[in-house]
Amino acid sequence: MPDNFSLQSDMRRPYPRETFWADLKAGTALVASYLPAAMALGVISGMGPLSGLWCGVFVGIIAALCGGTRALISGPSAVLAVIIATVLTDTGVSLAELSVIIVMAGAIQMALGLTGVGRFVSYMPHIVLTGLMSGIGVLLVATQVGEFFHFGIYDLALTGFCLALLFLWPARIGRFIPAPLAVVGVGWIAGLLIPGMQRLGPVPAGLPVPVIELPSLDFLPEAVGPAVLIALISSVYTLMWSLTADAFTGSRHDPNRELFGLGLGNIAAGIAGVLPGSGNIATISARRFGGRTVVAGIVCMVIIAALILGLGTYVAPMPLAALSAIVILVGWRLIEFPFLRKVLRMDLNYSSVMLLVMAVTIFVDPVFAIVFGVIAANIVNAARLETLELDSVISAPLLDSTFNPETDNEFSARIGLVAFRGSFSVSSSRKLINPLGMDIRDHEVVILDLSESTHIDDSAAYLLAQIIDHAGQTRTEIVVCGISDRIRGPLFAFGVLDRIPDEQTVATVQEARDLAWSLLDKTAV
């Protein structure tokens, strides 16, 4: 377990009475907006409305108690709901097998937290996450619009009315009665009064019945891919909301502890056979209602748990048209319209990646879109790094006259200097090999100055090994200076140091210059 695996000092602040009352009121008010959205996300996932609600109870409470963010609320999210629906549709797994996948995802998240690498999970390129979320938003809207063709005239009318309520609901009233709750109320009354509407139907009440079974050995390899994907998306999405919560509270979250708590919650969700969860937009809603800490979320989930136990008979008349309107609102809010409006003014490389990820999400598969997006973004970033790294390499001839003013040919430059400054990686190594090889061929002694090199990866180390081999073929002597402990590891691993005599490895540039001149005298003799 890493040394920093503990709550930050701001998580151990005193919890005064006024903060508790603020969280209590916020958590109670949050139920009104949380409940309809969670039900809708459960329907989207294909696991049922109660699955979304129980996800909030299990993941929300456990992540709040064990997590590392002061005011984060966790539960079902649209991104995970769509991914779960995709897994169920594309792989044809049973609910028992899906539960195994969710438990594995939670275990992966716990491992990320325990090993102290949780903060690196959030390094997924923002353009990939933006494209994925916008694509899922479009997908949700398009899917619900497609459902209109199966609706009757009354269902369509109710959907239109509910959409108008959601988008035109006054903000002043929304502070007390959230628009989704008003839609649920209108839909429930319409379902009771208007015959022939498509309804949600009976929903089993009571505690969830675990469906998890011991998986077969043949299934486990198939489960790894979906589990890693769910763990990755849930983690990235949660840490994104953790940053938002930090902005509200002025605190700093512990990403490793947050992933540990989230993973524990998702293991519980998998065992119970409900949706996996992540941080979600309820974090903002709770803040809007006056919530200050995770206690607001715990209060909300406790109330929802009490409601679920007797909710089944009351939600049966709920028209699907009302839930469809809520899903459309969720999808609409996922689309990054401010980002899309700036696409034409952005760097073409980044905007192309975002739009391609969005298109693949919509027309191909959200799972494939993530893999494709990460690869595409890394290619774009590598191209940028290539330019920066190439600009940081200086190859210059050193005139003999700078060593010996009395030389016969003042324009002779038998010694060359190649200085590597900054970081060097696979991005630039392949483009450097040819020009550096030519520079080495033009000199009798070459100084490789690594004193200002801060990082060398395996490809760059391999490049240096090739340069030294090429120098041996052209009978060019190599002097290396400035090898720090930070770069010694890869140079040793790839045999760079084995190719250079110990006496031709020095500490400073001046020592390298003196040694190069002495080697030049020896070669002349």
CATH number of residue 449's parent domain: 3.30.750.24
- Here the tokens at position 405 are 């003013």
Nearest to 98 by CA among 46, 167, 37: 46
Q: Is residue 374 part of a domain?
A: no
**Domain match, 175 and 29 both:** yes
Q: How big is the CA angle at 120 (ends 114 and 125), to the nearest 5 degrees?
A: 150
CB atoms within 10 A of CB 388: 12
Q: What is the pLDDT along the chain (525 residues), one digit of tens a residue?
A: 444 444 344 455 677 888 999 999 999 988 888 888 898 999 899 998 889 999 999 999 999 999 999 999 999 999 999 999 999 988 888 888 999 999 999 999 999 999 987 767 666 777 888 888 899 999 999 988 988 888 889 999 999 999 999 999 998 888 778 888 899 889 989 988 888 888 887 766 667 777 777 777 788 888 998 999 999 999 988 988 898 888 888 888 899 999 999 999 999 999 999 999 999 989 988 888 889 999 999 999 998 888 888 766 677 788 889 989 998 998 998 898 888 888 777 778 778 888 999 999 999 888 788 888 888 887 777 666 666 666 778 888 888 888 877 766 667 888 888 888 888 776 666 666 666 667 677 788 989 898 888 888 887 788 788 878 878 888 888 999 999 888 888 888 878 888 888 889 999 999 999 999 888 866 554
**Domain match, 285 and 399 both:** no
Q: Is residue 463 part of a domain?
A: yes
**Domain match, 269 and 172 both:** yes
pTM of the model: 0.74
The four Cα atoms 24, 28, 29, 35 give a dihedral, to 10 degrees, of: 140
In 210-331, which ranges are E strands?
278-279
Nearest to 41 by CA among 33, 32, 29, 50: 50
- Domain-ending residue, one of 335, 367, 401: 335
Q: Is residue 427 part of a domain?
A: yes
**Domain match, 55 and 163 both:** yes
Q: Is residue 382 part of a domain?
A: no
- Domain-ending residue, one of 320, 335, 350: 335
Determine the structural domain holding residue 124 and report its residue range: 16-335
Nearest to 54 by CA among 255, 253, 299, 307: 307
**Domain match, 434 and 328 both:** no
Q: Is residue 356 part of a domain?
A: no
**Domain match, 65 and 140 both:** yes
Q: Are 132 and 368 in contact (CB under 8 A)?
A: no
**Domain match, 310 and 197 both:** yes
**Domain match, 30 and 102 both:** yes
Q: Are 456 and 487 in contact (CB under 8 A)?
A: yes
**Domain match, 299 and 433 both:** no
Q: Is residue 386 part of a domain?
A: no
Number of structural domains, the chain?
2
Nearest to 449 by CA among 383, 395, 524, 376: 395
Identity of the residue numbered 342? K
**Domain match, 166 and 34 both:** yes
**Domain match, 189 and 306 both:** yes
Q: Is residue 387 part of a domain?
A: no
Strands 393-398 and 415-424: antiparallel
Q: Is residue 380 part of a domain?
A: no
